[in-house]
Amino acid sequence: MRLSLNKFGAVAGRAVAGCPLPAWARRLGLLGFLFFFVKGLLWLVVPALAGLWIAK
């Protein structure tokens, strides 16, 4: 019996395991990333706008 790998490294004839996390956990991770991404952008934008407003 010979096993062959496809281009993704999975053994042919076997089901490829997906992400082990449930859908709600992936969604929670995405929402957490977006929250901190927007928060970080606001930390940059708000002081810049305040500086522009004070400089007028």
pTM check: above 0.75:
no
Residue 4 has pLDDT above 90, yes or no: no
Inform me whether the pLDDT recorded for 25 exceeds 70: yes
More confident residue, 35 or 6: 35
> Does the structure show a pLDDT above 90 at 42?
yes
- For every residue of 6-50, DSSP letters joined together read -TTSPBTTSPPP--SS-HHHHHHHHHHHHHHHHHHHHHHHHHHHH
Distance CA 14, CA 7 (A): 14
Tell me what the pLDDT averaged over the chain comes to: 83
Domain boundaries, the chain: 21-56
Evaluate if residue 6 carries a pLDDT over 60: yes
Integer Cα distance of 8 and 16 in angstroms: 10
| Residue 3 neighbours by CB under 8 Å, 6+ apart | 11, 12
